[in-house]
Amino acid sequence: MTCPFCALEGPRRRVHRHLIDGHADVVATEVNPALGQMFYVIACPNCGGEIRHQVKPRWTDPGFVREFGEEIRMVAFDLLLYHVEDAHSGDHQ
C-alpha cells in the first residue's frame, strides 16, 4: 500500500511504522475538560474525513500522554489505515 501522506510504498506493517516515525505531526489531540475526555484526531488526506477516537481515560494525564504518545499514534494510524483501506482501496497489497 501507499502512505496516505507521501509516496512511500510498502507492506501495511512498514507503512504503519513509517507513519508513526514520519508523520507524527498529523495526529492531533483534543481535550474536553468538562467531561475529562481526550480524543486523538487525524484528518484523512484523501477525503478530509476525521478519524477520531477516544483515548483511554487514564491517558488524560499529560505526563502519561507524553510517555505513551507513540502508543496513541500507533492506534490512531492503525485506524487511519483501516479507513483508507475501506474507503479508498485503490491498491490492495
Alpha-carbon distances of 12 from 2, 42, 68, rounded to whole Å: 8, 18, 22
Confirm if 9 and 2 have CB atoms less than 8 A apart: yes
The reply to whether 12 sits near Zn ion by the rule CB under 5 A is: no
The reply to whether 3 sits near Zn ion by the rule CB under 5 A is: yes
Binding letters toward Zn ion, positions 32-71, x by CB under 5 A: ------------x-xx-x----------------------
Interaction site with Zn ion (CB under 5 A): 3, 5-6, 8, 44, 46-47, 49, 87
